[in-house]
Amino acid sequence: MSAQAMAAPDEIALLHDLVTIPSVNPGEREAVTYLCAEMARRDFLTHIDGIGNAVGTIGNGPAHIVLLGHIDTVPGQFPVRIEGGDLLYGRGSVDAKGPLATFVAAAARAARRGALDGLRVTVIGGIGEEAHSPGANFLAETMPPPDACIIGEPGAWESIVLGYKGSMQLRYELEQPNAHGAGQQLPAPQIAVGAWNAMVTVCESLNGETTSVIGRVEPTLRAFASESDGLRQRARLEINVRLPVTVAPDALYHELRNAAGDGHLTLLEPPVPAYRCEKNTPLVRSLLAGVRAVGGRARFKSKTGTADMNVVGPAWRCQMAAYGPGDSALDHTPDEHISLAEYGHAIAALDAALGAFAAQMRERNG
């Protein structure tokens, strides 16, 4: 590995220490404070914004790029350790403190080598991405649209992610008089199973011949509970539906509600539409060039989950992509870990990409 593509000791310490600090929403404050201090030590101008996001800006000029990662994690903290000199284990190492630390390290490198002339870079450690994205929603409502935005999510260092599926969280509930097992009245759990099957059929009818996971409506039954007190029966389903860009959430909800029959189907939160970025933009070209500059074979991806891209993308309507090291299959698992070699490659690639983007913006702005 070239020296350029190796993470420096202080860059490894940044990631290690950030992962060590628990930051499950709403308990991100310690991690936010730490990140602001580390950005300030690298010559960022920092502050904590009105919702609690960590914000650091470096560079100057008329062009502005936001590097938006998230600092919160899912629950399940376990001891941080480095195995074999390369694999850093810990909650958030992949999702998404690895990409967030990459943002800080790469922007600091680009500034040190004078590559940010004409470009202002704002790194944000957003709160609550794993809990309805209050940090990203605050930014969408209060921050003027930048010229470009990179979302910090794991996708492997050679990949540029151009889109995320949408998501809909639903609850089905049915309550009825208690039914005798030998009677004609179907018990509430059986009716609930029938309603679930009917909703799956609706989704499959929309999929048609589509075989691509990115293009399909994908319902998932996350929980099923039933109870009876001898007088009333109750059944409850917790459902998640992943949405492609071709399906409008409101229209799908109407169809699913009809399929639910006598049960009561409710949205637990506003649905998140899918979002897909433009491919032929200065930002994407810069990311491709950055990956290639470090010897990688750049490729595009779309992800089946959702991210803060789904929140700020429709609000800002700027050039956008997601980038970050790490294997997203390890998200939320007890085996979550990131390769420090890959982390180093991602820092070097993003450093080069920021320089390339700054050069394109200088040319555009004369």
What are the residue numbers of the active site?
Answer: 72, 129
**What count of other Cβ atoms lies within 10 Å of the Cβ of residue 32?**
23
Measured in degrees and rounded to the nearest 5, phi and psi for residue 41 equal -65, -25
Measured in degrees and rounded to the nearest 5, phi and psi for residue 266 equal -125, 150
Contact 78, 91 (CB under 8 A): yes
Burial (CB < 10 A; 0-12, 13-18, 19+), residue 122, is buried
Contact 137, 311 (CB under 8 A): yes
What are the structure tokens assigned to 63, written together? Answer: 């062009």
Q: Please, what is the angle between helix 340-365 and helix 97-112, to 10°?
A: 50
Where helices occur in the chain by DSSP H, the ranges are: 9-20, 29-41, 97-112, 134-142, 188-207, 249-259, 282-293, 309-316, 340-365
Distance CA(353)–CA(333), nearest Å, equals 31
Beta strand pairing call for 275-276 and 218-228: unpaired
Distance CA(37)–CA(137), nearest Å, equals 24
